[in-house]
Copies of this chain bind each other. A is one copy, B any other.
Amino acid sequence: MFTAEHTLRVRYGETDQMNVVYHANYATYFEVGRTEAIRTLGLSYREMEEMGVEMPVTELTIRYLRAARYDDLLTVRTQLRQLPERYSIDFHQDILNERGKLIASGKVTLFFLDRTTRKRVRMPESLHQRLAPFFAQDTRD
């Protein structure tokens, strides 16, 4: 399993008149978490795009458990529970507040898309190589 954590602070404009973070912004927090998770591998999503692979989101699920508020320092925890073998990748993501309480939990599925051909492709080798060590039994053929 691969896990990475990233902290971010809630911005004023991310709140709504219920005095909490507007629910759609959690999808953005998740995206920041994925970007930073990939960076911990010594790669960047920006580089992946420059190498010709985009990762559009194909499914998003978020369960909202507690409110997050302006200026809260949140931790986004991003997990890969298995090494993706084909065209898509599942990120399990949690958001925790400063007291370690779970704020929200979700799953985001993306696929790998060749920018030129606009076809689905397998995970770029550069990413696969960096992830494989986290998955002991991995035997990609």
A residues adjacent to B (C-beta < 8 A): 11-13, 15-20, 22-25, 27-28, 31-32, 35, 44-46, 54, 56-64, 67, 70-71
Contacts and interface: CB of A to CB of B under 8 A. Distances in A.
B31 A24 contact: yes
B19 A31 contact: no
Given A59-B62, A60-B62, A61-B60, A13 B19 contact: no
Main secondary structure on A side of the interface with B: mixed
A70 B17 contact: yes
A45 to B, nearest CB: 7
Given A17-B17, A18-B54, A59 B64 contact: yes
15 contacts: A11-B28, A12-B22, A12-B31, A12-B35, A13-B16, A16-B17, A17-B70, A18-B54, A23-B56, A24-B28, A35-B71, A58-B64, A59-B62, A59-B63, A60-B60
